[in-house]
């Protein structure tokens, strides 16, 4: 007996991880609603997959368009079983250098876009009594580093939102997984990235070093894109959704060091935390 196929909706499918996910899913015989700012970028995948590939134009910074595309996908394909909220990019440079427009665009793309997407799909997933939401975060969503403060803010934001959402929708049969990839060679540090305007004061700081290395293409990557896409699909089709999924040895190491340091900090300050409760009868 062959396993039942699912219908997936993916954002940011034109390149990188999103495109690798579409390729992996089509190879497995799944049906995909692949959305992208430029859906034409997927036209080479269409002929071999026939009606299993449905495409739509979607910029995730447009909440009205998100609702429309989700409704259109359900109408065209009958249902959505798994949503992969993947679209995103990094603003690289020191926090003080980021312009107001850069900050707002980063947040609209990486944080409020995924929130609006979740709100748009939830009525359909609840009505059908099952579904999965997979949110692509980053190892930077667990451990912040200099040179990507606004990016880290968005990824920590999705970590909080989707952790909370997971507990809210579990009872409806909906699973949520937050994926935390390490470095992987895509357009992320190339065409996809945005950089801040350099302030001389930061020239010799880690933030400027990162920006220069990103601009020169001198950042090394550990991850294998196809293996990451395969792992995400495998985990999204497990009967139970894990809340988090780290991908890559760099992600595993960085997150482990981050959590260990946070736990040590918490324990160091335990006496202060416990000293601020109401005391005696007022408790
Ligand atoms: N690569 C890494 O090292 C790495 C590590 C950790 C996490 N991630 C995360 O992985 C996800 C995918 O990134 P990637 O590595 O595949 O980078 P990528 O190759 O640059 O691909 C990013 C994708 O997001 C799309 N996108 C950007 N802004 C969008 C918007 N407003 N609306 C719709 N689509 C938009 C891009 O579309 P266009 O083609 O139209 O620009 C592109 O398809 C991101 O969420 C990123 O934060 C990546």
Q: How far is the CA of 201 from the centre of ligand 1 (A)?
A: 30
48-96 pLDDT, tens digit per residue, is 787 899 999 999 999 999 999 999 999 999 999 999 999 999 999 999 9
Of the candidates 13, 49, 85, 137, the residue annotated as catalytic is 137
Residue 257 has a CB neighbour count (10 Å cut-off) of: 12
Choose which residue among 186, 225, 249 to substitute to test ligand 1 binding: the one with the highest number of ligand atoms within 8 A of its C-beta: 186
Share of the chain above pLDDT 90, in %: 89
- Residue 54: what are its φ and ψ, rounded to 5°? -115, 135
Q: How far is the CA of 89 from the centre of ligand 1 (A)?
A: 5
Residue 117 has a CB neighbour count (10 Å cut-off) of: 26
5-56 pLDDT, tens digit per residue, is 999 999 999 999 999 999 999 999 999 999 999 989 988 887 778 789 999 9
In this prediction, residue 47 carries a pLDDT of: 76
In this prediction, residue 2 carries a pLDDT of: 65
Three-state secondary-structure class, residue 242 = coil
Fold that domain 7-89+99-192+222-251 belongs to in CATH: Rossmann fold (3.40.50)
Ligand 1 in reach of 151 Cβ (< 6 A): no
In this prediction, residue 279 carries a pLDDT of: 86
Q: How many helices (H) and strands (E) does the chain have?
A: 10, 9
Asked if the model's pLDDT at residue 281 lies above 80, the reply is no
Stretch (H or E) spanning 262 = helix 249-268
> Domain ranges in the chain?
7-89+99-192+222-251
The whole-chain average pLDDT of the chain stands at: 95
Asked if the model's pLDDT at residue 283 lies above 80, the reply is no
Residue 123 has a CB neighbour count (10 Å cut-off) of: 13
Ligand 1 in reach of 86 Cβ (< 6 A): yes
């Amino acid at each position: 007996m062959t396993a039942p196929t699912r219908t997936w909706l993916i954002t940011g499918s034109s390149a990188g991880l999103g495109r690798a996910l579409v390729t992996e899913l089509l190879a497995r015989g799944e049906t995909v609603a692949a959305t992208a700012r430029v859906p034409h970028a997927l036209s080479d995948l269409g002929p071999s997959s026939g009606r299993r590939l449905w495409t739509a134009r979607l910029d995730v910074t447009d909440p009205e368009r998100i609702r429309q595309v989700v409704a259109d996908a359900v109408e065209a394909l009958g249902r959505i079983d798994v949503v992969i909220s993947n679209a995103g990019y990094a603003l690289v440079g020191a926090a003080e250098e980021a312009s107001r427009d850069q900050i707002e665009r980063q947040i609209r793309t990486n944080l409020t876009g995924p929130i609006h997407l979740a709100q748009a799909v939830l009525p359909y997933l609840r009505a059908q009594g099952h579904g999965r939401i997979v949110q692509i975060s980053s190892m930077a969503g667990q451990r912040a580093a200099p040179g990507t403060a606004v990016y880290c803010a968005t990824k920590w934001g999705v970590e909080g939102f989707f952790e909370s959402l997971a507990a809210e929708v579990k009872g409806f049969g909906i699973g949520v997984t937050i994926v935390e990839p390490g470095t992987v060679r895509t357009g992320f540090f190339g065409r996809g990235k945005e950089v801040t305007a350099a302030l001389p004061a930061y020239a010799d700081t880690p933030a400027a070093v990162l920006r220069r290395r990103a601009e020169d293409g001198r950042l090394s990557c550990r991850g294998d894109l196809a293996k990451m896409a395969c792992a995400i699909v495998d985990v999204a089709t497990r009967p139970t959704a894990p809340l988090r999924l780290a991908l890559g040895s760099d992600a595993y190491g960085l997150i482990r060091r981050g959590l260990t340091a946070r736990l040590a900090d918490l324990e160091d300050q335990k006496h202060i935390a416990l000293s601020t409760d109401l005391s005696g009868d007022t408790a």
